[in-house]
Amino acid sequence: MASYGELGVNVGSVGRWTRFVLGILIVAIVAADFYPTTHTHSAASYLMMALSFLGITAVYTLVHVLIGDKLIGKSAWWGTLIFVVPTIFLLIAPAFDPSLQVGYWVNLPALNHPFELALLLYVGISFFFQWRAEYGGCEVLAIPNFLFRKNYGSYCVPLLPLDAIEKLIVEKKAAGSAGTT
């Protein structure tokens, strides 16, 4: 009998391929921003983006190492709160109040756009790691999970409804096929 597994850790075929397509779309959006007709970027802008990407990866890896094992056995909502909410805040809050951009926090406004692109790129690349690992949790954990070979339970808030519906369908089919044999 087939089953879906644990919501927030496992992912089905629909969720897996949705993550792959989202990864492509997000990376394409970031790449399109670098196309010369949309924006002109200086070498400093590219450097700030690369350093921001490395910094984001380092922060998520550090948090993963420091508190990841403490989340084992706890509700996946704790992992979501710790790992997903900051990313959602950093991506959405500046649309409502530009002073909430990271560049303003460090008195370097030129960092705002490269940091946003680096964060989007991190999420996009993480979707590829999720797709490859068949991991259905938070995309921002996908790279540290790959590095340390651990999958901590958390929810990918935007994709949670899709994963929950897929889990319901897979388990309903599995229960139906088990009853016919």
Share of the chain above pLDDT 90, in %: 18
Domain ranges of the chain: 43-174
The tens digit of pLDDT for each residue in 115-159 reads: 889 999 999 999 999 898 887 778 888 888 888 888 777 778 788
Give the C-alpha separation, 144 to 61, whole Å. Answer: 5
pLDDT attached to residue 121:
94
Strands of 93-148 (E only): list them: none
Half-sphere exposure of 126 (CA within 13 A, CB side): 24
| Continuous segment of H or E residues that includes residue 81 | none
Single pTM value for the model? 0.84
